[in-house]
Amino acid sequence: MSHANAALTPRHRLRLARAVVEDGWSIAYAAAVFNVAWPTAKRWADRYRTEGPAGMVDRSSRPHSSPRRTPAPVVRRIVHLRWKQRLGPVAIADRVGVAPSTAHAVLRRCRLNRLSHVDRATGEPIRRYERDRPGELIHVDVKKLGNIPDGGGWRYVGRAQGDKNRAATPGKPRNAHYNPKIGTAFVHTVLDDHSRVAYAEIHDDETAATAIGVLRNAVAWFAARGITVERVLSDNGSAYRAHAWRDACAELGITPKRTRPYRPQTNGKIERFHRTMADGWAFRRLFLSESARRKALPGWLHEYNHHRPHTATENRPPITRLTNLSGQY
């Protein structure tokens, strides 16, 4: 292959070959003039005689045949063990009966040398996607969080003190063991696929009626920011399989979509948002009551949408992917 410091570029190869074949130069004299070895000058002259100017270009260095290449059945078995069991080259080599270097070479050739290239849960190749414009697809889901007893939960005050705070929280019903039922906070979240702009509400249940109310509020919230929702993607929860949910989507002009059963990776964007929300809001600091944590959610959502850099939006806040917002410029 020619490079910046090559003695013979395709143009100089042609000059050398023509000097030998057409002008009658000797191989030794042409090699001395062009400052190359005698076999090199002879090779280009011979190729010019048989192929003409077309023979002066670079050829692939790949061999015509590779008799020692790893057989296809062995390659398939190596790939299968990587996908299904996420084994490393050494473990794969022990099971297949090849050298670890061979197993690693096959994994590199198939772009499976890093586990980040495959789904850790299923072993299947990761398929990433992103819609072209805001509103083309929104993701909906529910994040369940245990309510915080008065005085703080066990994550910050410890198990013993957390149990005491839970028992001392007034106005809570008791179970069969006379332990107070603190309850669960259901955070209904809505995320735009293209911009990653998020909307959330906290409720005490995850019924279809509540999910529909959140969807209506979210559609109005997005519409105020110039986004027209076209499709909504959800999991297979009972609220999203209800006829009322289907009818509400039809009324709003939205096409409902559901993920494949037992495949949360399809809705992975909102699952990842739940992790960010938990780290940035729900468990970020000590809250002395559930009402204090719920009051902190709108402020964190504003920070996430308007100020926090997002790696999926070129390290800029998600709101920057929306256009024609009031005060944007």
Q: CA torsion sign, 7 to 10 to 15 to 18?
A: positive
pLDDT digits (tens, 9 = 90+) for 142-199: 999 988 888 888 888 888 887 787 777 776 666 655 566 788 999 999 999 999 999 9
Q: Is the dihedral of CA 83, 84, 88, 89 positive or negative?
A: negative
242 neighbors 225 (Cβ within 8 angstroms) = no
Which tens digits make up the pLDDT trace of 63-114?
888 888 899 999 999 999 888 888 889 989 999 999 999 999 999 998 888 7
- pTM score over 0.85: no
pLDDT for residue 54 is more than 60: yes
Whether 132 and 194 have beta carbons less than 8 Å apart is answered as: yes
Run of H or E residues at 223: helix 208-223
- Asked if residue 55 lies in contact with residue 47, where contact means CB atoms within 8 angstroms, the answer is yes
Residues ≥6 apart with Cβ < 8 Å to 27: 20, 38, 41, 42, 45
Query: What pLDDT, on a 0 to 100 scale, did the predictor assign at position 247?
Result: 95
